[in-house]
């Protein structure tokens, strides 16, 4: 089954894209409004499903001994492209291979060489694999940035809704995060039901708390940082958003 990423995952990916080495789970948790354990659990799931494929150092090879970084733009037979890409990656000096969905110039190979003779050696080895080298370019500089669509919106308050899915028949499954000052935080589900925080017909399907997936009952308390999944038989009511967004009310006030 495919893993469906939600807003929490997107924000985690954005912060890791900014600086994975120096970004800790507690730091991301503060930005995302969930617990550090939830962030660590989400990162593990993203890794297991192949969405996070690795963490790589950004190396300046010229500064590391005056080495040349060269990009080879190549054409490989489409039927053999993946095999050639795998073989190219085993060539000494090759540090990255990209396959493109194109008939021509469908393989981009990045290699690091000691000098021009070493680059020529790499070019020759690539040619023996069955590719046609269309261009060789010296890489002067490379800049990267995280995907902006995953970024938090500047100047706006992040919605408590972090996931949404329509279900056949007009029903909806909605995912909320419970902030520390949300009105529903601190209430049991029975208390939330009695006070109208949970509208009639709305069911709490599950609660993600750190690395736990809780099957809730009436005595389950909503805690800060919980990721709560609810089912609504119709379009989810506005009061649900208010329950997860508004100021916290003291559960002891329940009569």
pLDDT digits (tens, 9 = 90+) for 185-235: 999 999 999 999 998 889 999 999 998 999 999 999 999 999 999 998 888
Quick one: pLDDT at residue 246? 52
Q: Which of 97, 94, 86 is nearest to 121 (CA)?
A: 94
| Residue with more model confidence, 111 or 235 | 111
Q: Which of 86, 17, 85, 90 is nearest to 51 (CA)?
A: 17
Quick one: pLDDT at residue 254? 41
Quick one: pLDDT at residue 248? 43
Quick one: pLDDT at residue 47? 96
Q: 68-138 and 161-253: same fold? A: yes
Q: Which of 2-16, 80-94, 96-110, 148-162 has the lowest mean pLDDT?
A: 148-162
Whether the CB-CB separation of 164 and 177 falls below 8 Å is answered with no
Inform me whether the pLDDT recorded for 3 exceeds 90.
no
Quick one: pLDDT at residue 11? 94
Quick one: pLDDT at residue 24? 94
Extents of the domains making up the chain: 7-56, 68-138, 161-253
SS3 183: coil
What's this model's pTM, rounded to 2 decimal places? 0.80
- Residue 16's CB is within 10 A of a number of other CB atoms, namely 18
The topology (CATH level 3) of 68-138 is Alpha-Beta Plaits (3.30.70)
Quick one: pLDDT at residue 250? 47
- Considering the domain delimited by 7-56, tell me its CATH architecture: Orthogonal Bundle (1.10)
SS3 188: strand
User: Mean pLDDT over residues 242-248, rounded?
Assistant: 70
Element (H, E) at 209: strand 203-209
pLDDT tens, residue by residue, 42-61: 999 999 999 999 998 889 99
SS3 110: strand
Element (H, E) at 96: strand 94-99
Inform me whether the pLDDT recorded for 97 exceeds 50.
yes
In the CATH scheme, what is the homologous superfamily, with its name and number, of domain 161-253?
A: Regulator of K+ conductance, C-terminal domain (3.30.70.1450)
Q: Which of 127-131, 158-162, 237-241 has the lowest mean pLDDT?
A: 158-162
Whether the CB-CB separation of 177 and 244 falls below 8 Å is answered with yes
Q: Give the separation between CA 66 and CA 227, rounded to whole angstroms.
A: 50
Give 164's strand partners.
174
pLDDT > 90 in the chain, percent:
71
Mean pLDDT computed over every residue of the chain: 90
Whether the CB-CB separation of 25 and 36 falls below 8 Å is answered with yes
Looking at residue 197, the DSSP 8-state letter turns out to be: S
Instruction: List, in order, residues 6 or more apart from 4 with CB less than 8 Å away.
Output: 163, 165
Whether the CB-CB separation of 96 and 109 falls below 8 Å is answered with yes
Give 104's strand partners.
none
Pairing relation of β-strands 203-209 and 212-214?
A: antiparallel
pLDDT tens, residue by residue, 116-142: 999 999 999 999 999 999 999 999 998
Inform me whether the pLDDT recorded for 162 exceeds 90.
no
Q: How far is CA 43 from the centre of its chain?
A: 8
Quick one: pLDDT at residue 131? 97
| Residue with more model confidence, 244 or 159 | 244
Inform me whether the pLDDT recorded for 68 exceeds 80.
yes
Whether the CB-CB separation of 230 and 222 falls below 8 Å is answered with no
Quick one: pLDDT at residue 8? 94
Quick one: pLDDT at residue 252? 47
């Amino acid at each position: 089954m495919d893993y469906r990423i939600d807003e929490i995952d997107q924000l985690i990916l954005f912060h890791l894209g900014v600086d994975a080495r120096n970004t800790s789970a507690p730091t991301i948790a503060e930005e995302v409004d969930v617990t550090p354990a939830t962030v660590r659990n989400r990162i593990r799931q993203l890794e297991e499903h192949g969405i996070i494929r690795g963490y790589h150092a950004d190396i300046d090879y010229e500064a590391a001994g005056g080495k040349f970084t060269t990009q080879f733009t190549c054409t490989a037979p489409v039927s053999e492209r993946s095999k050639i890409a795998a073989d190219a990656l085993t060539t000494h000096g090759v540090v990255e291979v990209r396959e493109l969905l194109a008939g021509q110039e469908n393989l981009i190979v990045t290699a690091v060489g000691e000098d021009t003779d070493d680059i020529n050696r790499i070019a020759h080895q690539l040619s023996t694999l069955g590719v046609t080298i269309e261009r060789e370019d010296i890489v002067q500089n490379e800049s990267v940035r995280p995907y902006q669509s995953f970024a938090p919106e500047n100047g706006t308050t992040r919605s408590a809704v972090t996931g949404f899915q329509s279900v056949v028949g007009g029903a909806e499954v909605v995912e909320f995060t419970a902030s520390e000052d949300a009105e529903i935080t601190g209430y049991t589900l029975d208390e939330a039901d009695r006070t109208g925080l949970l509208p009639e017909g709305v069911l709490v399907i599950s609660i993600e708390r750190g690395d736990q997936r809780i099957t809730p009952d009436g005595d389950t308390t909503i805690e800060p940082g919980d990721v709560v999944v609810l089912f609504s038989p119709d379009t989810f009511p506005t009061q649900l958003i208010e329950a997860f967004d508004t100021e916290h009310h003291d559960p002891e006030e329940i009569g």
